[in-house]
Structure 1
Amino acid sequence: MNEQLVWVENQALENIRFHIQSAEIISKEANTTLTVFLAGIGGAAAYTVNLVDTHATIWLISATIVFGICLLILAGWIVCGCLRLRPIPSPTNEPVNLYQPEFSLGSLREAELKNLQTRINDLVTRNAQVADRLNRIRFCALISPIIASVVALVVWVSR
Structure 2
Amino acid sequence: MTELLDWVEKQAQENIRFHIQTSEHLTKESNTTLTLLLAGIGGAVAYLTKLFDTQAELWLVAAVGTFGFQLIVLAAILIWYCLRTDVMWPPTSEPQCLFRPYFAVDQLREVELENIQTRINQVVQRNYRVATWLDRVRFGAVAAPIVSAAAAVLCTVLARAC
Which AA in structure 2 matches 1:53? D
Which letter maps to 1:98?
L
What is the alpha-carbon distance in structure 2 between the residues aligned to residue 64 and residue 145 of structure 1? 9
How far has the Cα of 1:101 moved from its partner? 1.3
Alignment partners' CA distance in 2, 1:125 and 1:158 = 46
| Whole-Å separation in 2 of the counterparts to 1:158 and 1:83 | 39
In the alignment, the residues of structure 1 paired with residue 113 and residue 154 of structure 2 have an alpha-carbon distance, to the nearest angstrom, of 60
Residue identity matched to 2:91: P
Corresponding position: 1:58 with 2:54: no
Distance in 1, matches of 2:14 and 2:87, equals 19
Question: Which residue of the partner structure matches residue 115 of structure 2?
Answer: 115
TM-score (norm 1): 0.97
Q: 2:17 is matched with which residue?
A: 17
**Structure 1: 5+ residue runs without aligned partners?**
none
State the Cα distance separating 1:81 from its structure 2 match. Answer: 1.0
Q: Which SS does the other structure have where 1:82 is aligned?
A: helix
- Match for 2:43: what amino acid? G
Question: For the residues of structure 1 that align with 2:52 and 2:86, how far apart are their CA atoms?
Answer: 42
Structure 2 residue runs without a partner (length 5+): none
Aligned equivalents of 2:106 and 2:86: distance in 1? 33
Structure 2 counterpart of 1:152: 152
Instruction: Check the 8 A contact 2:41/2:72 in 1, yes or no.
Output: yes
Deviation at 1:56, TM superposition (A): 1.3
For residues 1-159 of structure 1, the aligned pairs below 5 Å read 1-159=1-159
Post-superposition shift, 1:23?
A: 0.4
Task: Please give the alpha-carbon distance, in whole angstroms, between the structure 2 residues aligned to 1:158 and 1:52.
Answer: 20
Q: Which moved more, 1:128-137 or 1:48-57?
A: 48-57
2:16 and 2:158 mapped to 1: Cα distance? 57
Structure 1 Cα separation of the partners of residues 116 and 122 of structure 2: 10
Aligned residues: 159
Shift in Å at residue 116 of structure 1? 0.5
Instruction: Tell me, in whole angstroms, the C-alpha distance in 2 between the residues paired with 1:122 and 1:89.
Output: 8
Q: Percent identity?
A: 50
The offset of 1:8, in angstroms, is 1.0
How far residue 14 of structure 1 moved from its aligned partner, in angstroms, is 0.8
Other structure's SS at 2:13 match: helix
**Offset, 1:112:** 0.5
Could you list the structure 1 runs, at least 4 aligned residues long, displaced by more than 6 angstroms after superposition. none
**1:156: how far off?**
1.1
**Separation in 1, partners of 2:102, 2:26:** 42
